[in-house]
């Protein structure tokens, strides 16, 4: 797993983006997700034990183990290194540039960064915002962990934000009908 090597403040991040619309996504939550995890974990564990004890996995099983390790690693992002959306992701909203919700989101991310949380937990990104060009090309993805108060573009790029932003994002998500834990 790559570690975060670059960081940018939320205000610099949002100012640097040229986009035409955004979509919000929810991931890693809900009964279907939990049921899938209950199936995937035993499959991964069985292959992992076989590899460690006997080292006799077929090429196909090696590939599957690698896929399962990626799917079940602690930190998941909306879009993986291959460009695929997380299997549990669900689009919750779409807003064109100029929409009132976009203005609110931009104002939230423009909040001056003066007080930054440093939780020692690994973030679980359950919320994400995808910025698009009108052609459908993704400009950027902002993965959000409201529990750890962390944001990242991907595994190498972190977005630093003021503590107050996370409560504003929680409220924003709830107001647009996005499922958010309390």
| Amino acid 73: pLDDT | 81
Give residue limits of the domains in the chain.
Answer: 6-27+92-175, 31-72
| Amino acid 81: pLDDT | 83
Strand segments (E) across 16-137 = 21-26, 90-96, 127-132
**Structure confidence at residue 180 as a pLDDT band (50, 70, 90):** confident
**Structure confidence at residue 1 as a pLDDT band (50, 70, 90):** very low
| Amino acid 121: pLDDT | 75
**Structure confidence at residue 3 as a pLDDT band (50, 70, 90):** low
The sheet carrying 127-132 orders its strands as: 6-9, 157-160, 150-154, 138-145, 127-132, 21-26, 90-96
Residue 4 has pLDDT above 70, yes or no: no
Percent of the residues in the chain that have a pLDDT greater than 70, as a whole number: 96
| Amino acid 119: pLDDT | 63
Q: How far apart are the C-alpha atoms of 76 and 72, rounded to whole Å?
A: 8
| Amino acid 82: pLDDT | 85
Kind plus residue range of the DSSP H or E element containing 80: none
pLDDT in tens, 124-154: 899 999 999 999 999 999 999 998 899 999 9
DSSP, res 135: T
The 10 Å Cβ neighbour count of residue 86 is: 19
Mean pLDDT across the chain, nearest whole number?
90
| Amino acid 114: pLDDT | 78
Q: What is the mean pLDDT of residues 85-110?
A: 94
| Amino acid 109: pLDDT | 96
pLDDT in tens, 38-90: 999 999 999 999 999 988 899 999 999 998 988 888 789 999 888 899 999 99
The 10 Å Cβ neighbour count of residue 176 is: 14
């Amino acid at each position: 797993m790559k570690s975060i090597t670059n960081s940018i403040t939320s205000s610099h991040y949002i100012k640097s983006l040229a986009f035409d619309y955004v979509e919000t996504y929810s991931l890693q939550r809900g009964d279907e997700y939990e049921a899938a995890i209950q199936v995937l974990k035993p499959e991964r564990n069985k292959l992992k034990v076989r590899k460690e004890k006997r080292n006799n996995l077929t090429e196909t099983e090696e590939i599957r183990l690698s896929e399962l390790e990626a799917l079940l690693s602690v930190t998941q992002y909306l879009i993986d290194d291959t460009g695929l959306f997380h299997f549990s992701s669900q689009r919750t909203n779409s807003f064109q540039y100029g929409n009132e919700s976009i203005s609110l989101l931009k104002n939230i991310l423009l909040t001056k960064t003066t007080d930054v949380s440093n939780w020692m937990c690994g973030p679980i990104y359950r919320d994400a915002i995808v910025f698009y060009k009108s052609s459908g090309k993704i400009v950027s993805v902002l993965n959000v962990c409201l529990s750890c108060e962390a944001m990242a573009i991907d595994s190498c790029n972190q977005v630093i934000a003021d503590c107050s932003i996370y409560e504003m994002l929680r409220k924003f998500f709830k107001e647009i009908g996005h499922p958010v834990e309390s």
